Chains A and B, each alone.
Chain A
Amino acid sequence: MNYDFQFGAVFAAWPLLLKGTWTTIELSFLAMVIGLVVAILCAWGKTAGPAPLRFAINTYIELIRNTPFLVQLFFFFFALPAIGLRWSAHTAALIAMVVNLGAYATEIIRAGIEAIPKGQIEAGLALNLKRHEIFRFVILKPALKAIYPALTSQFILLMLSSAVVSVISADDLTSVAANLQSQTFRSFEIYIVVAVIYLLLALGFSALFRLIYARALNYPDRR
């Protein structure tokens, strides 16, 4: 096995790789923020909403969690345009990521909210806190702290699974890699370099999440 590694062609294309990396970061970040909002709304609907709404949210969660992301992506990119909903590859990728993350994060957040003891909410009422204050300080903040590890690893999984959006050429890092490999044929080198970039992204995101935790959630709790 005498293989002569040549990383030159890969590193020569660094502006393209950088751009792809940026697109992946941008897509993941947007999907995290919008997906989190979707998930908080769905978690609220699932714990406090009327029965038909709860049924609709449950159907959404089960459908998304039991089908592959790739098929969801195909659905949003190929199937919905056929009935008149047209959008770019980039938008389709973002929508698929938001819809996917929303389902997983809803379940995580719901578990966190349900783990808050009733007595704690009653204590908030007894202290004459306003309803939104109770939701913010007594329910959301402790719930967020409890589910933080699960939520952030879901975010990182989302960032990694975003590689799949390259099949519809959404200009992400893996799309760039696939284009480079068809131009230079240095597939082994390209995919090694790109894998290292993803690894660094995953480590970077988890460092960022740890920093946010230390800044915003690192208060003592009694459990």
Chain B
Amino acid sequence: MRTFGFPEFLFILEAAKWTVALSLIAFIGGAIVGLALALARVSENGTARHTAGAFIQIFQGTPLLLQLFLIFFGAPVLGFDINPWVAAGIALVLNSGAFLGEIWRGCIQAIPRGQWEAAEALSLSYVARMRDVILPQAWRIALPPTVGYLVQIIKGTSLAAIIGFTEITRAGQIINNATFQPLLVFSVVAAIYFALCWPLSLLAARMERRRAAALAR
């Protein structure tokens, strides 16, 4: 039987790069989906608003694990060949898209009405209004909660372990099955997640404080 030593530690640490890669995919894809959803939610087109609303309701109202299962176990049934990478990627992109969309909608709507009206009065087109007036201001409000949400994404990638994707948690399970030292193994796993997430949490909190201070002036 193996004992938990430096090679075992390295194996788990190695897997952290897959956690990071999956998090980046989820964040970048989620940002694209989320921006589209946020814009649809504040648009004047009722169909777009309701479709985006339903999408967000479904993805926020069901467990991420189930979304993952639905894609991973459902796709082969429909005749698609799917591996854990793709399934985890799709589920995380759609899920973070829904949450980011809702966060960003709030930020866009936090821009005072007068700014919208002023942009309209200047007869700016929709694209120019959004690109030059609303989004640059909303961006500054959105930054702290977006960084905070990154922590949720990193933690969410742990669920990919359940469908057999070897990231930090799965690597921990593999090592645990070989060494039977769960206390040590899962402490190391938790410590690696903590090392990834804590700096982001601190950064988000600092940005939040600086923003609050800027608003109070």
Contacts and interface: CB of A to CB of B under 8 A. Distances in A.
A68 B170 CA distance: 13
A66 B151 contact: yes
Contact of A203 (B61, B66, B156, B186): B61
A62 interface: yes
A171 B23 CA distance: 30
Given A62-B198, A167-B162, A188 B182 contact: no
A164 B198 contact: no
Given A164-B65, A166-B65, A191-B70, A3 B155 contact: no
A202 B62 contact: yes
Interface stretch (A29-37, A78-86, A143-151): A78-86
B190 A188 contact: no
What is the predominant secondary structure among interface residues of chain A facing chain B? helix
Nearest to A192: B70
B63 A163 contact: yes
B159 A164 contact: yes
A79 B183 contact: yes
Nearest to B69: A191
Main secondary structure of the interface of B (DSSP, over half): helix
B194 A66 contact: yes
Contacts of B166: none
Contact of B155 (A68, A74, A83): A68
Contacts of B97: none
Interface in A145-173: 160-164, 166-167
Given A71-B190, A78-B176, A163 B65 contact: yes
B169 A195 contact: no
A75 B169 CA distance: 11
Contacts of A194: 66
Interface string B151-177: 100111011011000000100110010
Interface in B169-217: 169, 172-173, 176, 180-183, 185-187, 189-190, 193-194, 197-198, 201
B78 interface: yes
B63 A69 contact: no
Interface residues of A, number: 40
B114 interface: no
Given A70-B161, A203-B61, A198 B172 contact: no
A66 to B, nearest CB: 4
Interface string B48-69: 0000000001101111111101
Interface in B3-54: none
Which residue, of B58, B65, B79, has the highest number of chain A Cβ atoms within 10 A? Answer: B65
B1 interface: no
Name the residue among A63, A70, A162, A167 with the largest chain B CB count within 10 angstroms.
A70
Contacts of B189: 71, 74
A79 B182 contact: yes
B148 to A, nearest CB: 10
B190 A67 contact: yes
A187 B194 contact: no
Interface in B64-93: 64-67, 69-70, 73-74, 77-79
A71 B186 contact: yes
Contacts of A106: none
Nearest to A178: B69
A1 B190 contact: no
Nearest to A75: B186
Given A195-B58, A195-B67, 17 more contacts: A1-B78, A1-B79, A62-B198, A65-B151, A66-B151, A66-B193, A66-B198, A74-B186, A75-B182, A79-B182, A160-B61, A160-B62, A174-B69, A187-B73, A198-B63, A199-B61, A203-B61
Interface of A: 1, 3, 62-63, 65-72, 74-75, 78-80, 82-83, 160-164, 166-167, 174, 177-178, 181, 187-188, 191-192, 194-195, 198-199, 202-203
Interface of B: 57-58, 60-67, 69-70, 73-74, 77-79, 151, 154-156, 158-159, 161-162, 169, 172-173, 176, 180-183, 185-187, 189-190, 193-194, 197-198, 201
